[in-house]
Structures are given as C-alpha cells and as structure tokens.
Amino acid sequence: MHNHTVGRAGYPDRDGFVTLDACIMDENGNCGSVGAIQDIAHPISVARLVMDKTPHVMLVGDGARQFAIEQGIKPEKLLTAESKAAWKKWLKKAEYSPVMNIENKQARQGSKYNHDTIGMLALDAKGNIGGACTTSGMAFKMHGRVGDSPIIGAGLYVDNEVGGATSTGVGEEVIRNVGSFLVVELMRQGMSPEEACKEAVARIIKKKPEVAKQIQVGFLAINKKGEYGAYALQEGFSFAVCDNNKQDLIIPGKYFYKEVK
C-alpha cells in the first residue's frame, strides 16, 4: 500500500480520519457524488449508487457512509499503520503544506505527504462520453474539508454534445474557477482539449498568481472526436491513454512552470 493519495492507505485528515471524495457522470447528464465519506474503500462505487439509486446527486459524511452500508458495501478501516505513522509525524509540526507532483516525488525520494486524484474520461464506440474521479483529497486537511473531486463542474464535467474534463491538484483553486465545466464550455466554443485545459489553468493563474506558482493543478479533457489534451500549472502532471492502438501510454502534460527539483 504505497499510494497515499486515493482510497485505502490514503493519508488522513489532521484529526486522523481518512475521508474520501468521488463523483461520476454519464452521457445523459446523470451524476452521483460522495464527499468526505469514511470507511469505504471504493467511494466511486457509492457515487455510482447515488446516481443510479437515489433522487439526489450528492451525499456527504455520515449520510453517505450509511447509504453505502445500506447498499451492501462493507465498511473497513482505511488508515494503514504506515499512514498513521506519517500522520503522527506530521502532528509534531502540524503544518499544512501541499507538496506538488507527489507521484513523481514518491518515486524519487520515498513516500511523502500529499495529494492526488484519479480522474478518468471515456468515449465509447457509439461516441458517448462518461467520466469519474476519486481521491482521498489533501493530506492533513481540516476534518470535513471537501475538495473539487466530488463537485460536478469542478473536479469533473461531461456534456455529451461537446466532451468531458476532469482535474487534479489543489481543489480549492479548481472550485473557485469551476474548472472542469469551464474546460468543456471552452471546447464548445471551438478550442481543442489542450487549448481549453490551458485556458482554464491560465484563469487560475490570473485569479491568484502568487498561489498558482506554489501549487499544482492539472486538467485533462476529451472531445467528441476522441481528441484529448491536458495542461497543468507545473511540470510533472502526466496522463495515460488507452485506445485500440495504445494501452497504457503515459503522456507528459504541458505546463506553465518548470518544476523546481
């Protein structure tokens, strides 16, 4: 369990609770989401159940957990000994400081505190688009903090007339700019997926230039033609593509700022 940014073994919040955010959206505008859910290893499955089985879009906290258990999902403790030890170590200083591009840094220097999201966009043979995203959010966040990932329009958005987009990085800046909705709307106006992602990242810089230099945010998008693209604030955001020809192709996303190593 070396991944500390999503699901089981995710780093906890500052009070020691692992809380997860996830959402899902289909080609008909159906969507479901869970925020700050605890003890459920696959929050995306609960988001799917919210979409399929309730009249609502979003369930949070205890209500989301209760719903998951009612639907037959077994609760389990997600805080591993390793994550607990990292939290205890963090408590000594208790400084909240997101570290960007943890996936690269983990490979380089062993596991550290941080944040990441799994965002997925899919185009089927009929040309329908769907998407999902899931995360344990920012390591050592305040208890009750919800990021962009479960918020339709922020962490994920799909409009089957146009395309889909998803995001990763510091969710507060994505929410402020309704990032994924913005990317889809920019594609509607004629931008390519990469151009739309770049413009959405540029808005983040424009709104908070000093913050933008210190954090990571990345967007990924696909359009109806199956063209895809990504753009990030910082170097180090990469994405994977699977189609008939390629499986697991890792593509480095373009970026505004070169990472200081």
Q: Which residues bind ligand ASP (CB under 6 A)?
A: 21, 115-117, 135, 137-138, 147-149, 168-171
Residues that are catalytic: 117
Q: Which two tokens stand for residue 65?
A: 């957990």
Q: Which is nearer to ligand ASP, 41 or 69 (CB)?
A: 41
Please name the amino acid found at residue 37.
I
Please name the amino acid found at residue 58.
M
- If you search the block for the tokens 């990021």, which residue do you land on? 147
Q: Which is nearer to ligand ASP, 83 or 149 (CB)?
A: 149
CB contact burial 191-216 (16+ within 10 A = b; e otherwise)? bbbbbbbbbbbebbbeebeebbeebb
CA distances to 65, 85, 149, 157 from 153, rounded to whole Å, are 23, 35, 9, 5
**SS3 assignment, position 230:** strand
Q: Which is nearer to ligand ASP, 27 or 201 (CB)?
A: 201
Provide the minimum distance between the beta carbon of 133 and ligand ASP in the complex, in angstroms, as a whole number: 8
Q: Which is nearer to ligand ASP, 27 or 166 (CB)?
A: 166
Provide the minimum distance between the beta carbon of 142 and ligand ASP in the complex, in angstroms, as a whole number: 12
Provide the minimum distance between the beta carbon of 144 and ligand ASP in the complex, in angstroms, as a whole number: 13
Provide the minimum distance between the beta carbon of 147 and ligand ASP in the complex, in angstroms, as a whole number: 2
Whether the Cβ atoms of residue 167 and residue 148 lie closer than 8 Å to each other = yes
Residue 257: which of 207, 220, 204 has the closest Cα?
A: 204
